[in-house]
Each structure stands twice: as structure tokens, then as C-alpha cells.
Amino acid sequence: MDASAARICYEDFEVGSVRTFGPRRVTREEIIEFATEFDPQPMHLDDKAAEKSMLKSLSGSGWHTCAIMMRMIYDGLLHESSSLGAPGVEEMRWVRPMRPDDELTITLTCLGKRESKSRPQVGVVSYRLEMTNAKGEVVLTSSYSGFFGKRNPGAAS
Amino acid sequence: MDASAARICYEDFEVGSVRTFGPRRVTREEIIEFATEFDPQPMHLDDKAAEKSMLKSLSGSGWHTCAIMMRMIYDGLLHESSSLGAPGVEEMRWVRPMRPDDELTITLTCLGKRESKSRPQVGVVSYRLEMTNAKGEVVLTSSYSGFFGKRNPGAAS
């Protein structure tokens, strides 16, 4: 949303601050629905095929894990922020599979922030993200950056 | 699938080889459906909000671009391979937005391959990926690796 209406703008991110989002439960039906459309590898669709795979039992597509991560970040942060999108992902690891009935939690640590050189009304915030399941096992880690509008583009930061 | 049944196994990847997949057309309805579920930022849902955004008109979620990329790789390569999944993504850039009616093409270049130290029946293949639209503009770039079963685990590579 417009920075003038957003509760969280570029200025509000503190380096070292930590936010947590979730838990978000994932169902077997969701896993199969996503995989059927976007990643129909047998280990994401069929129990017997999954048992024979490296992952040992049915697991979600890694891209489904990412899509759920996105929604959790939206619900926990972006929906009330001046987010302007993201340029990409520096690194991402699918450390463990996402399983049916997993309850996922995200920890988002602000690693840094800088002003955009080309757009004075925009700042770039960088993060380290970790997603864990209910056992506390790491499912996904990522480093990425996002663009945020400034509340006061003219002010010194 | 099992390496004994797969047309493409670890041994079949040649460093420097290039594969192309697509074109795959993306509809406005798909963009809105994915965004509604996973990334409901206004620029992915609503024309007027999108016009005011940095992206200037309606665009798909970057994670939707990734999900479509996954399906294109599945249809073009993985479905007839001994793919065993992927550990993650080294780097990914959403260079340009994915727009309604884009016709997307992927170019996948094999950058390297190595045998797994811990699992003699598995090899790791690394790639550079580029997704372009019908104008030849780059939409997404990525570097990542995938695991593939070997046809002949005992043989020298």
C-alpha cells in the first residue's frame, strides 16, 4: 500500500530485529493440489511412489513451500506495509521436506537496509528467513531482499 | 522415476548442453487465482492498484513465475528423467514481471555435474536457467542444482 497509509514503512525496519509468523498448517489435500498443477513428480502425489523416493514419504513441492512462505510473510508483515515487491532471492535451501499436517513457523531476521540510489522514495531491506515445523526442525532457509516505500522520502535516515 | 526406467539419467547430462522448454502462455485468470491464494498484494490482483505500483500494470507473483518454471521443467525434462529432487536454489532474479498473456520460454544450460559423495547411486547436476517472454525479454534468471539417479551406479563416470 501507499507509504502514507502503511503501518510499516522502510524507516520502521531495524537491523537485527526478528519477526515470527505462523503457525500455518498444511494439509495433504493442499500438497496434492499444488503438485498436480505445478510439480507432478510422483513423490509429491502418491504415497507408494514417495516411499520409494529419497524423501521416504509424501512431501510437498519445494515451490509449494515457497508459496506458503510468501503467504505467511504477506499475512504477518506485507499486508500492512509499504512493500513494493522483491528483486529476487539470494539463496534458498529446502532443508527438509514439507509434510502433510506440518505446522509451519517462520522467523524473519532483518540483516540490513539501504536507500535506493535511483529512487529516493524507496529503500531495500535484506533478511534471513528460517521456516521450521512443529518439532522445531528446519524446513527452509532463505536470504532475500525486499523494496519498501519511505514514509518521509525527504528525511535523513 | 527409477533410473532403470528413465530415458534421462545422471550420465546423460553434458556440461555445456542447452535445453529449451515452452512456450507456455499465462492467463490473467491464472495470475489472479495464484495471487489470491499465495500472494494477495494489490499489484497482482487489481488493475488500478497495479497501475500505481512500481510494476505499472497487472503482473504475476514472482512465486507464480517460479511455479510455472517448475512445471515447464517437469514437462520438458523431469518427467522422463531419474530426478530425485533439488536441494535448493543458489540465486534467483525476477528481472521483469510476468504479465497476462505472456508466452514464456526457458533456456536451461548445464553448468556442471558431480557424483554424490554420500550416495553412490546419485549425481548432482547444476544449471543456469533463463526464462524469457515472447519479445525475448528476460523475465527470470536462476542458478540451481538437482539430484539425478545413475543408470549404472557402479560404472566410472
Structural domains of chain B ordered from first start:
10-149 (3.10.129.10)
pLDDT exceeds cutoff 60 at B79: yes
Count interface pairs A-B at CB distance under 8 A: 98
Give the distance from residue B16's alpha carbon to the nearest chain A alpha carbon, in angstroms.
23
pLDDT at B65: 98
A68 reaches B (C-beta below 8 A): yes
The pLDDT tens digits for A75-125 are 999 999 999 999 999 999 999 999 999 999 999 999 999 999 999 999 999
DSSP A118: S
pLDDT exceeds cutoff 80 at B154: no
C-alpha–C-alpha distance, residues B112 and B144, integer Å:
11
From chain B, the residues in CB contact with A86 under 8 A are 62, 94
A40 reaches B (C-beta below 8 A): yes
Q: Residue A117: which residues within 8 A CB-CB, separation 6 or more? A: none
Q: B156 falls in which pLDDT band (50, 70, 90)?
A: low
Q: A157 falls in which pLDDT band (50, 70, 90)?
A: low
B40 reaches A (C-beta below 8 A): yes
Q: What angle do CA B123, B126, B132 make, to 5 degrees?
A: 140
Q: Which residue of chain A is at minimal alpha-carbon distance from B86?
A: A94
Among B86, B76, B84, B77, which Cα is nearest to B126's? B86
pLDDT at B50: 87
- The complex scores an ipTM of 0.95
Radius of gyration of chain B (CA): 18
pLDDT at A156: 58
From chain B, the residues in CB contact with A93 under 8 A are 87-88
Compute the mean pLDDT over every residue in chain A, rounded to the nearest whole number: 94
Percent of chain B with pLDDT over 70: 99
Put residue A88 in one of left, alpha, beta given phi > 0 → left and psi -120 to 50 → alpha. left
C-alpha–C-alpha distance, residues A153 and A98, integer Å:
41
CA atoms within 13 A of residue B35's CA, in its CB half-sphere: 23
B45 reaches A (C-beta below 8 A): no
- The answer to whether residues B9 and B157 touch, using CB atoms and an 8 Å cutoff, is no
Inspect the interface and report whether the beta carbons of A84 and B54 lie closer than 8 Å: yes
